[in-house]
Amino acid sequence: MKLEDIIAVSGMPGLYKLAGSRPNGIIVEDLDSGKRKFVPNRKHQFSPLETISIFTLADTEGLVDVLRKMHTLKDEIPVVEANASNEELRDYFLKVLPDHDQSRVFTRDIKKMVKWYQFLEARDLFNVISDEEE
């Protein structure tokens, strides 16, 4: 599975694999069950993970790079729980990406990144993704 096939869908929890597209929406595949579902673009917005960026003081950092950094540093800096306090989330993210723009990266954004990281880690998709990209 390639990282560009993994998308976030507004109003739906978790991440999905892009299975196909139609003029009025897309077909997503659940990464756990493999079930496919049509998602209309009139009701939802779709964001491939590779197109999402995090604001830094200088420019932006791609979400994929941030998730990889979280995965690389997980032994040195344990990933906090998504339901941790705002201060714990901010402290953790300052260790992972110290130059992020704190005025434009909100704790709800950090919480979502932690949830997505845990989702990908639980399904061992970092190893699959790394093997394919090499």
- For 17-59, write each residue's pLDDT tens digit: 999 999 999 999 999 899 999 999 999 999 999 999 999 999 9
Please give the angle made by the CA atoms of 120, 85 and 87, to the nearest 5 degrees: 105
Indicate if 52-133 has the same CATH topology as 3-48: no
pLDDT at 75 (0 to 100): 92
The CATH class, in words, for 52-133 is mainly alpha
Global confidence as pTM: 0.86
- For 57-98, write each residue's pLDDT tens digit: 999 999 989 998 999 999 999 999 999 999 999 999 999 999
Measured CA to CA, the distance from residue 24 to residue 10 in angstroms comes to 16
Q: Sign of torsion, CA 121 125 126 127?
A: positive
Domain ranges of the chain: 3-48, 52-133
Measured CA to CA, the distance from residue 7 to residue 51 in angstroms comes to 10
| DSSP H stretches of helix in the chain | 63-72, 86-96, 107-122, 125-133
Architecture of 3-48 per CATH?
Roll (2.30)
Amino acid occupying residue 116: W
